[in-house]
Amino acid sequence: MPEQTGLLQGKTALIFGVANDRSIAWGIAQAFHQHGAKIGLSYASPALERRVKPLAEQLGSAFVEECDVASDEHIQRVAEKAAQTYGEIDILVHSIGFADRNELTGPYYNTSRAGFHLAMDISVYSFTALAKAFQPFLRPGGALLTLTYYGSEKVSPNYNVMGVAKAALEASVRYLAYDFGSHGVRVNAISAGPIRTLASQGVSGFKTMYRRFAEIAPLHENISIEDVGGTAVYLCSNLAAKTTGQVVFVDSGYNILGIPEPVE
């Protein structure tokens, strides 16, 4: 591991959403660790425990807790356990999203009522629910962070209900930033370009889109979980002390384009 530069020295961070070593949450956890943060991890279901525990060990983290964010009891339990373990928390990262695979292909108008509710519950409401549960334990100067995608602003074929969910998530970031401002806690989102992870594999046509992305984006490079980790460190550190309610793009500049140049 590179030498610690300590932008997050003395801070405690809880990171939700590590499924494996390709998860964006894992890129963030590693970057936080390199910058001196104490890390706790949370994963969705018992099946993931055997993957997440060894990753936590790499960071010297003993706090590894299951939390299905569909359950208020799980969320409350993990918040109380974190408070018992650490006292106050400085940083909370929400790197969680879910929609049924059937909803991520074909026309958006085919979205089912149940599929819409599920995507909204897991991908949007859970950030607000975590913010509420952790609110009593957040230290002033702290930061909340979530992950979003440009499909919230512009149509990204097949992204469908997840695009609508990300739009709602970004609106939640602004409302939460307003609420938490008076506690001295900042709330931001990173809008990442496409990265090959478990979640992105569920979106129909992702592979082709991923390939074309680097050809089109101004920097002509795909995004890595390390790239997202670096921006997450900045946003959750004191360097970003006056930045809240923002969506920060880590996308090789893709979002500035109007009409992409045709690829020869």
For 249, the enclosing helix (H) or strand (E) is strand 247-250
Q: Which of residues 98-127 bind ligand NAD (CB under 6 A)?
A: 98, 122
Q: Which of residues 155-174 bind ligand NAD (CB under 6 A)?
A: none
The yes or no reply on residue 233 touching ligand NAD (CB under 6 A) is no
Q: Decide if 159 is catalytic.
A: yes
Please, what is the minimum distance in Å from the beta carbon of residue 78 to ligand NAD?
10
Q: Distance (Å, rounded) from C-alpha 144 to C-alpha 127?
A: 9
Q: What are phi and psi of 61, to 5 degrees?
A: -100, 125
The yes or no reply on residue 96 touching ligand NAD (CB under 6 A) is yes
Q: Which is nearer to ligand NAD, 82 or 195 (CB)?
A: 195
The yes or no reply on residue 197 touching ligand NAD (CB under 6 A) is yes
Q: Which of residues 135-154 bind ligand NAD (CB under 6 A)?
A: 147-149
Among 11, 12, 14, 23, binds ligand NAD (CB under 6 A): 23
DSSP labels, 185-218: -EEEEEEEPP--SHHHHTSTTHHHHHHHHHHHST
Query: Which is catalytic among the residues 149, 150, 178, 254?
Result: 149
Phi-psi region of 6 (alpha: psi -120 to 50; beta: other; left: phi over 0): left
Please, what is the minimum distance in Å from the beta carbon of residue 43 to ligand NAD?
6
The yes or no reply on residue 29 touching ligand NAD (CB under 6 A) is no
DSSP annotation of 121 = I
Contact string (CB under 6 A) for ligand NAD, positions 41-70, x = contact: ---x----------------------xxxx
Q: Where are the alpha helices (DSSP H) in the chain?
A: 24-34, 49-58, 72-86, 113-120, 126-134, 160-181, 198-201, 206-216, 225-236
Residue 244 corresponds to which tokens in the numbers above?
């809240």
Q: Distance (Å, rounded) from C-alpha 264 to C-alpha 258?
A: 18
Q: Distance (Å, rounded) from C-alpha 122 to C-alpha 56?
A: 23
Q: Distance (Å, rounded) from C-alpha 187 to C-alpha 131?
A: 10
Q: Which is nearer to ligand NAD, 70 or 216 (CB)?
A: 70
The yes or no reply on residue 17 touching ligand NAD (CB under 6 A) is yes
Q: Which is nearer to ligand NAD, 142 or 229 (CB)?
A: 229
Among 34, 61, 95, 158, binds ligand NAD (CB under 6 A): 95
Q: Which is nearer to ligand NAD, 40 or 194 (CB)?
A: 194
Q: Distance (Å, rounded) from C-alpha 35 to C-alpha 24?
A: 17
Among 64, 89, 92, 195, binds ligand NAD (CB under 6 A): 195
**Residues noted as catalytic:** 149, 159
Binding residues (CB under 6 A) for ligand NAD: these are 17-19, 23-25, 44, 67-70, 95-98, 122, 147-149, 192, 194-195, 197-200
